[in-house]
């Protein structure tokens, strides 16, 4: 890692194998805006046992997400005919393995129940189901959650419109420096991962464009919001407040989040009480 002087202060860049360099913190996000993003993955990841895999690269290569969702639902229902066919058997096996590990992986029975109900629902549109898949990836894939928290979400809350592959790549270089034993990937592999991450976000409906990806702010409808709350309290039962780690991926600022929790439309779903300086969310027993 090297440093250089610039008119706005001191920056950092990382020299790549081909002699070029990528600037870290080129996003120029104000610290005040960055503070709006909850520290999600710091609570999700065990710093002493960080594991990374190539799930982003594989999922970003799947061409048909509608077909992927059909396979996921069939697999959840234990349908013996559930299949995911592609040009080659090798590709199909790689895709199925990634779907099973990154999307169809559950911490307990209630977690599986929530995801199965959401993905098989006739009431939810495909884009809403893909938002649920997004939250699954935030829970199940360390690399995806870190990049999303530190690049995508910070850009979104800072009011930026676009996100560049080089910005993702610079953060991946920072991760490799931080976790040299776990992220022993070449520069070429990290470049692919940066590109595939943005492709994956586009396929999830959270970005648009080709070379430069424009950030797409999703509409969090009532049904999807309820699914997120139930998912958050199921995965992190010891954090029944607005500080729950998953809420950092809600696309909602803190005030909006609290107001939605308190909305009368959810009064039969959960009870809100005060927990110190935070609120406490308690799911109603009949739900």
Q: pLDDT per residue over 112-147, tens digit each?
A: 999 999 999 999 999 999 999 999 999 999 999 999
Which tens digits make up the pLDDT trace of 201-244? Answer: 999 999 999 777 899 999 999 999 999 999 999 999 999 999 99
Does one domain contain both 152 and 131? Answer: no
How many residues are present in the chain?
287
Stretch 55-66: mean pLDDT: 93
Based on the structure, what is the number of domains in the chain? 3
Angle at which helix 109-119 crosses helix 222-235, to 10 degrees, equals 160
Does one domain contain both 24 and 154? Answer: yes
Instruction: Give, for 248, the enclosing helix (H) or strand (E).
Output: none
**Least-confidence region, from 15-24, 89-98, 199-208, 248-257:** 15-24
Do 215 and 152 touch, CB atoms closer than 8 A?
yes
The Cα 151–Cα 221 span in angstroms is 24
Within-domain flag for 91 = yes
Within-domain flag for 36 = yes
Within-domain flag for 234 = no
Q: Does position 30 have pLDDT exceeding 70, yes or no?
A: no
Of 140, 158, 189, which marks where a domain is finished?
A: 140
The Cα 256–Cα 248 span in angstroms is 12
Candidates 59, 199, 73; CA nearest to 124 is 73
The Cα 123–Cα 223 span in angstroms is 9
* The pLDDT of residue 78: 85
Within-domain flag for 233 = no
Tokens of 96: 């199925």
Phi, psi of 2 (to 5 degrees): -125, 165
Does one domain contain both 23 and 134? Answer: no
Tokens of 89: 């058997």
Band of pLDDT at residue 5, cut at 50, 70 and 90: very low
Q: How many other CB atoms are there within 10 angstroms of residue 81's CB atom?
A: 5
Does one domain contain both 258 and 130? Answer: no
Does one domain contain both 106 and 133? Answer: yes
Within-domain flag for 187 = yes
Candidates 206, 284, 287; CA nearest to 249 is 206
Band of pLDDT at residue 50, cut at 50, 70 and 90: low
Residue labelled with tokens 């870190």 = 146
Do 226 and 269 touch, CB atoms closer than 8 A?
yes
Within-domain flag for 226 = no
Do 138 and 246 touch, CB atoms closer than 8 A?
yes
Does one domain contain both 253 and 278? Answer: yes
Does one domain contain both 88 and 37? Answer: no
Does one domain contain both 191 and 255? Answer: no
Does one domain contain both 103 and 202? Answer: no
Instruction: Give, for 208, the enclosing helix (H) or strand (E).
Output: strand 207-208
Within-domain flag for 230 = no
Give the residue numbers spanning the domain of 270. Answer: 239-283
Interacting residues of 255 by C-beta distance below 8 A, sequence separation 6+: none
């Amino acid at each position: 890692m090297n440093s250089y002087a610039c008119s706005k202060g001191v920056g950092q860049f990382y020299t790549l194998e081909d002699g070029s360099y990528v600037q870290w913190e080129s996003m120029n996000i104000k610290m005040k805006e960055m503070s709006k993003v909850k520290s999600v993955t710091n609570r999700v990841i065990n710093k002493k046992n960080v594991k990374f895999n190539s799930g982003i690269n594989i999922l970003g290569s799947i061409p048909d997400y509608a077909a992927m969702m059909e396979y996921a639902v069939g697999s959840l229902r234990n349908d013996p005919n559930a299949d995911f066919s592609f040009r080659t058997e090798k590709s199909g096996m790689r895709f199925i393995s990634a779907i099973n590990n990154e999307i169809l992986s559950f911490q307990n029975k209630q977690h599986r129940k929530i995801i199965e109900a959401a993905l098989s629902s006739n009431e939810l549109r495909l884009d809403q189901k893909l938002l649920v898949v997004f939250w699954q990836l935030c829970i199940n894939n360390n690399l995806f959650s870190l990049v999303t928290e530190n690049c995508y979400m910070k850009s979104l809350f800072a009011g930026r419109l676009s996100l560049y592959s080089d910005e993702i790549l610079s953060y991946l270089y920072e991760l490799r420096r931080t976790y040299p034993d776990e992220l022993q990937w070449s520069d070429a592999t990290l470049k692919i991962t940066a590109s595939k991450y943005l492709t994956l976000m586009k396929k999830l409906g959270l970005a648009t464009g080709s070379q430069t990806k424009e950030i797409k702010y999703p509409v969090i409808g009532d049904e999807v919001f309820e699914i997120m709350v139930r998912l958050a309290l199921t995965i992190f039962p010891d954090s029944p407040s607005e500080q729950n780690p998953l809420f950092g991926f809600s696309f909602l600022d803190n005030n909006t989040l609290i107001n939605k929790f308190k909305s009368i439309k959810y009064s039969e779903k959960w009870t809100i009480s005060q927990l110190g300086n935070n609120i406490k969310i308690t799911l109603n027993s009949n739900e």
